[in-house]
Each structure stands twice: as C-alpha cells, then as structure tokens.
Chains A and B, each alone.
Chain A
C-alpha cells in the first residue's frame, strides 16, 4: 500500500506530531510496508464474527462517585513544565 505525502501530513496533524522532512519520507515507506503486512487480515471471512472488545467476559462495573483529595498535590505540581500557584501554564489560547 502506498501512502502520499498528504496522507502522512494529515495523520501527523491528527497525532499532534511535527515531522522532519526525513521522518516524513521514512514514515511513508515504513508505514506502507506495515500496512501491506496488515492487509493479510482481509483473507479471513469475518462476516458473522463479533469483535472482541474484552477478552475476559465481565459485567460492566461501576463505582461510587466518591471524590477524595489526592495526598501528594505538591508531587504533581513539581512535575509541571510551567505553573503559577496551583495552575498549569500554557501559551495564550484565546486571542
């Protein structure tokens, strides 16, 4: 399967990844080869086969909506790339 430059650019934007020109070229070839391999799935007839969404059959589980205070808020904030008070800072979003 061959991908175009536009395909690669479109997917990279969806994935929020900026690619160098070299990466773009390499992605085109490598993804194409992997997709060729994956195309082998088409030889299996799955018209009447349900998808497996969970390997161990389990009833849907819920839990109480029970808010708790996390015991290490400083630990979380210590990892912030940029912060002010207890807020994470990002570049201006709204002009």
Chain B
C-alpha cells in the first residue's frame, strides 16, 4: 500500500519504527504535489528545500534515539492565513503578496514540536472570506472529484490537498463553516473545535468572536490526532481556554451505543438537494443500527443565523483589517501624495472585491448611529441562537445535520451573487455563533459521484463525543475514498 493510501498515524508509526524515513515520506508527497497540483491549485507556495530540511531533522532525531513526536515525519499543509516563520503568508491577498512572516503561530510551533513536516501554504478565499476559494487573489482552487467544480471554502486549498492525497493532514480556519463546508465538498474529515480550544496566535484575524483553527484529515482518527497536537491554552491568545486537553485519539473508540442524537428540524429544509437529504437520513439509520437513540429537536432561531453572521463577521473584519494600511508591511500604493491617500489607495489596490464589500458592510454597521440597530441587535439574536442549542443539549448528546445544502457546485456558478454564495454556509454558521465543536465527515455520494458531508455538533468542549460519534459512523461505513485518477 502506498503512503498516500494509508493514514497519518501509520506514516508516523513507520517513521518512528524506521520502516520508512521522513525524507522518503516528504519526497513521496512532493512528487504527488508536482504531478497533480497543476490541475487543482491547492497550494499557493510549497518550499521543497524547507520541506526536505524539516524531514531530515526528524530523521536525525529518530536515528539519535530521541522521541520524534506523535506526528513524526507527517506532512501537514497549512492554510495561508497562518504565520510560518520565514515563509510567505499571503492570506491569498495582493495586499500581503510579498509578506514573509517573522514568527511562528502557536499551532505551527506545536506541529513542529510534534515532529510534523510543514508542507506548503494552501489557497483560500482572500482573508478567509468566501465559500468556494474563488475569491483568492492568486487564482481559484478546483475540486479533486471534478475539476470543473469548486472545493468549497474558505479553506478550499487545505481540503483539496488532503482530498487529492497531496498531504495526509492540513490545518484550516473556520469562521462560519470554512473547514466543514470544504471538507464536505471534497469528501474528507474536517473539524472546527470549540471556540477557545486552539490558540489563534499567528492566525491572521478575520472575525475574532468566531474564528477557530482546526484539522483536515483522511479519517476521524487522524483528525483526532492532529486536534490533540494543536489544542491547549496559550497565554498569547487571551480567548484560548485554560482547561485540560484530552488525548482525543484514546477517547474515540466508544461506539455509538446509547448515544442520544438530535435531528434539528430546521436543518431539513425545502429546497435542499434531495440526494443530500437522503444521504443524511441514511446516516441517521446507520446510527440507529449502532444503538444510538434519535429524537427530533428544534432550534427555532436557525433562520436568523445568516443575518447575525453577516452583521458580526463583516463588522469584526472591518476592524481587524484596519491594520493593513501600507505603513509597516504589505503593499504600499506608489500613487499616494499624502498619508490619507496612502491608506486609501494601498487598501484599494491590495484588497479584492469580496473583502472590500465586507469591510464596507462592517464599517456601515459600526458607523455612528447604527451600532444598536446592527451589531448590538445581532449580538442579542446570537444569544437566542445559543440558548436554542443549550436547550437542545439538555436532552441529546450530539446533533446531526447536513454540512452543506448541496454537493460541490460549478466554478463560476455563484461568483456574481454574494447572497447565493452566503447561503452555502447556512448549516455551518450557527455552530460558530454558539462557539460549539462541529465536524464534517463523508456520508455518501451524489449520483454524479460527488461527496456529501454529514455534520456532527456537540456541547462546548465535548470534541471527544463528536469525534467518537464520527468514528463509530466511519467504522460502520465505507465513504472514505480516493478520487478517480489519484
């Protein structure tokens, strides 16, 4: 069995036991990336020499008899909105086209300590704003299952790299579904942990009350492994939460017997793709056959989620992105006469259309006289959404829903209609608004051969239960597949 047909755990085991070397693993995936990434464009940059040097350092540790760490020699692709020292970190934006990060983010530091080999920077919608990875300032990523379709977004590069087996693992960030939706559209496992579980130090901020870093993987066990490595309190991120991190890998084998599952009726709506609905209904039957108890629940404020999100996320973004002013780093307009023009023109030249749209929307919502009507109102309705979940979780352990209303859509299909594009996140947004852990894993295929994702959400800090449910389903089914020709 070739390395890209195994698992990240197996690769780490082989490196640790010297059945293979980290260098051979790196060469294997570098050669796959060279061969296939022309089609999918998952990577914005992939420094082959830096990759080899890291792999060799892991091999030296193994040869010296030292513990190389749980991710020994495993290549991990990094969404290009996370700072890796000495590497370009562009956020897929022209405004950061030549920005080289002077430090490592905390999740990156943890990966290095765990023996992982950082494997390139992946494409995204500019500043993580989008659902198709078409908003990238450096060209769109395509879906490994069908290159005429989008991989989802905004972490579409990370999802496509893992789906095409160009890397065993990847990190993404999720503000309204940006890990789970592309995981669903690309047929891989993706998880947004509880807000506060993973430090965001070194993640370029988009919407600070919503952003979380999380894993992409070929299967649930690998996702659990990667999540265990990157989780934990960090004094450099005041929103990270100081509580023990379980070894998620050891907590996921419990099965689904006795698990109480809720099906929120608001997530099975008119107009959703019938193949998505039937795949999710079949998944529910599978859980029942495994001994889970399924009940209908209601989250009555679900339909407010999108509106709340499109006030809060752009407002917070307009504030966070104020730092890109052409003064200390990034693009500086050469056409500016005075300081005000330098700000206005650098930002005009550097930001793409979706980023400008959200900055304008957020600035409007926060401008004098509108704060109460928009931001404060949205924060109050957010409380109603959170309470819905608290009530539902009094009687059930996890919630099952579709991840996305449709399988992967055609490139260009929604590019000119922002509202249509926003609707593809309708099932993932509430999870961020409530700060919950949520995971997507493959639960079937459309008649056209496109993967369909199942979303599992849990109580705050109960990633173990979410992963356990996902693992039980994965063990009972056979939806982890490699796209044709790869």
A56 and B308 contact, CB distance less than 8 A: no
Contact of B380 among A51, A79, A91 (CB under 8 A): A51
A16 and B325 contact, CB distance less than 8 A: yes
The secondary structure that dominates the B interface is: helix
A46 and B384 contact, CB distance less than 8 A: yes
Task: Tell me, rounded to whole Å, the shortest Cβ–Cβ distance linking A13 to chain B.
Answer: 8
A55 and B311 contact, CB distance less than 8 A: no
B386 and A75 contact, CB distance less than 8 A: no
Contacts of B359 in A (CB 8 A): 15, 17
Residue of B nearest to A38 (CB): B307
Contacts of A14 in B (CB 8 A): 363, 367
Contact of B348 among A17, A76, A90 (CB under 8 A): A17
Task: Tell me, rounded to whole Å, the shortest Cβ–Cβ distance linking B443 to chain A.
Answer: 27
B342 and A44 contact, CB distance less than 8 A: no
0/1 string, B415-439, CB within 8 A of A gives 1: 0001100000000000001110000
A56 and B196 contact, CB distance less than 8 A: yes
0/1 string, A10-53, CB within 8 A of B gives 1: 11101111110001000100110111011111101010011111
Contact of A15 among B98, B103, B363, B376 (CB under 8 A): B363
When A30-B418, A54-B209, A56-B196 are in contact, do A16 and B343 touch as well, CB less than 8 Å? yes
Contacts of B301 in A (CB 8 A): 44
Is the C-beta of B485 less than 8 angstroms from some C-beta in chain A? no
B342 and A91 contact, CB distance less than 8 A: yes
The secondary structure that dominates the A interface is: loop
Contacts of A90 in B (CB 8 A): 327, 339, 342
Is the C-beta of B345 less than 8 angstroms from some C-beta in chain A? yes
A50 and B380 contact, CB distance less than 8 A: yes
Bound Cα distance from A11 to B359, whole angstroms? 9
Interface residues of chain A, those whose CB is within 8 Å of chain B, are 7-8, 10-12, 14-19, 23, 27, 30-31, 33-35, 37-42, 44, 46, 49-56, 58, 61, 63, 70, 72, 75-76, 78-82, 88, 90-93
Known: A17-B347, A49-B384. 9 other contacts (CB 8 A): A16-B322, A23-B353, A31-B360, A40-B304, A46-B377, A63-B235, A70-B102, A75-B100, A75-B103
* Across the A-B interface, the 7 shortest Cβ-Cβ residue pairs: A55-B435, A75-B102, A51-B379, A81-B332, A46-B380, A79-B329, A18-B344
Interface residues of chain B, those whose CB is within 8 Å of chain A, are 85-86, 98-103, 194-196, 209, 235, 238-239, 241, 301, 303-304, 306-308, 310-311, 318, 322, 325-332, 336-345, 347-348, 351, 353, 356-357, 359-361, 363-364, 367, 374, 376-384, 386, 418-419, 433-435, 460
**Can you list 16 contacts pairing A with B, beta carbon distance less than 8 Å?**
A11-B364, A16-B347, A17-B359, A31-B364, A34-B361, A39-B307, A41-B381, A44-B304, A44-B384, A46-B383, A51-B383, A52-B379, A55-B195, A55-B460, A56-B239, A92-B338
